[in-house]
Amino acid sequence: MTAVLLSGRELSARIRNDTAAAAHVLRAAGTSPALAVVTATADEASASYVRSIARTAARAEVDCEIHDLGPSASEEDIRDWLAKLSADPAVHGIILQTPLPSGVSPLALAGAIDPAKDIDGANPLSLGRLVVGLPAFAPATAAAVLKLLDHHAIGLSGRRVVVVGRSTVVGKPVAHLLLARDATVTICHSRTADLAEYTREADVVVVAAGRAGLVTGAQLRAGCCVIDVGTNTDGAGGIIGDVEAASVLPVAKALSPVPGGVGPVTTALLIEHTVRAAASALR
Ligand code: NAD
């Protein structure tokens, strides 16, 4: 047996096409959906991610402005920009890109993003609404995990799902989205005593730890599905996930590849959320 690869490319293309069509309708009605990205770092991986967001926006004919405040921007500078963009009716979606300058906390600043424009679910209010089941934008990566599972018809109700990672941007929101779909969810993290004890019992494993090779085939139940959210550099200019694909492929039923799994769905969803926010602003 070798696992099926849960590609995100076809799904991403479909989301982008549907988003482009929705953006076209909005423009015909006089609204140009617009995304603003605030960045304050010289980090090359971050810059490359922002470029990929801008490319995806351009393909869906969504405006994307990048506000690069530079790595020495102060917390006040960044908060002022977020407040200005939140108040600007021509802006529909706002992303606060990380990392931020040292000492500046994304959580302290994300509260300055208008929840209606918080298309990457960064404002703590968005996560709170998500947890209690009120409408909110989920962080795009967490939403992408669910979209990918649905696209490949992987059932969740009543299934045992282990999420590896408890960050505010991925682990926690994805766990709540899975719970809302009636999965039985266990969250593991860096202090979990024996990770394999949990992953071996799981029907579905979502790995978002940022540790290359953390999950291997020996830690999994035969026939499980694995979603690899991790993106790590491989030392040769490429990116690899958190899952050791070579040992997992013969054990699992399905594995999302890195690159080409969760990543392209995430960027497509950021633009889809922006267009949805623009449509809501019209109502
Ligand atoms: P983070 O560093 O904020 O959190 C990592 C989490 O993993 C923590 O909760 C930590 O407890 C847990 N962890 C670390 N080591 C562990 C171990 N040995 N065993 C069990 N748990 C462990 O990272 P993040 O922002 O949540 O991102 C996680 C990964 O997902 C990173 O590789 C990141 O690059 C990637 N990511 C991908 C996308 C995408 O669109 N594909 C988007 C966001 C993040």
pLDDT digits (tens, 9 = 90+) for 124-139: 999 999 999 999 999 9
- Which tens digit of pLDDT belongs to each residue from 25-37? 999 999 999 999 9
Using the Cα atoms of residue 85, residue 264, residue 54 and residue 31 in order, give the sign of their dihedral: negative
CA 213–ligand 1 middle distance (angstroms)? 13
Tell me: pLDDT of 6 over 90: yes
Burial tier of 236 (Cβ tally within 10 Å: 0-12, 13-18, 19+): exposed
Atom of ligand 1 nearest to the CA of 265: 40
- With a 6 A CB cut-off, is 270 part of the ligand 1 pocket? no
- With a 6 A CB cut-off, is 266 part of the ligand 1 pocket? yes
H/E element, 158: none
- With a 6 A CB cut-off, is 7 part of the ligand 1 pocket? no
Q: Distances from the Cα of 78 to the Cαs of 82, 113, 121, in angstroms?
A: 6, 11, 17
Atom of ligand 1 nearest to the CA of 210: 32
**What's the mean pLDDT in 197-216?**
98
Are the C-beta atoms of residues 61 and 20 closer than 8 Å to each other?
yes
Please choose from 11, 166, 167 the residue to mutate so as to test ligand 1's pocket, defined by most ligand atoms within 8 A of CB.
167
- With a 6 A CB cut-off, is 268 part of the ligand 1 pocket? no
CA-based end-to-end distance of the chain: 51
CA gap 267, 259 in Å, rounded: 13
Nearest alpha carbon to residue 166 among 133, 192, 134: 192
- Which tens digit of pLDDT belongs to each residue from 266-282? 999 999 999 999 999 98
Residue with tokens 């594995």: 255
CA 282–ligand 1 middle distance (angstroms)? 36
CA gap 154, 178 in Å, rounded: 12
Tell me: pLDDT of 189 over 90: yes
CA 175–ligand 1 middle distance (angstroms)? 13
Atom of ligand 1 nearest to the CA of 262: 41
**Ramachandran class of 161: left when φ > 0, alpha when ψ lies in -120 to 50, beta otherwise:** beta
For the chain, percent of residues with pLDDT exceeding 70: 100
- List the alpha helices (DSSP H) in the chain: 9-28, 44-59, 75-87, 106-110, 124-132, 140-151, 171-180, 195-199, 245-248, 262-282
Q: What is the pLDDT of residue 1?
A: 76
The pTM score is 0.98
Q: What is the mean pLDDT of the chain?
A: 97
Name the pLDDT band for 17 (thresholds 50, 70, 90): very high
Are the C-beta atoms of residues 204 and 183 closer than 8 Å to each other?
yes
CA 32–ligand 1 middle distance (angstroms)? 34
- Specify the residue with its C-alpha closest to ligand 1, atom 8: 165
- Which tens digit of pLDDT belongs to each residue from 146-176? 999 999 999 999 999 999 999 999 999 999 9
CA gap 274, 91 in Å, rounded: 9
**What's the mean pLDDT in 194-223?**
98
- With a 6 A CB cut-off, is 169 part of the ligand 1 pocket? yes
CA gap 19, 250 in Å, rounded: 36
Structure tokens at 18: 């549907």
What residue type is assigned to position 3 of the chain?
A
Task: Tell me the pairing of strands 254-255 and 232-233.
Answer: unpaired
Atom of ligand 1 nearest to the CA of 171: 26
Are the C-beta atoms of residues 69 and 40 closer than 8 Å to each other?
yes
**What's the mean pLDDT in 190-219?**
98
What residue type is assigned to position 150 of the chain?
D
Atom of ligand 1 nearest to the CA of 166: 9
CA 275–ligand 1 middle distance (angstroms)? 28
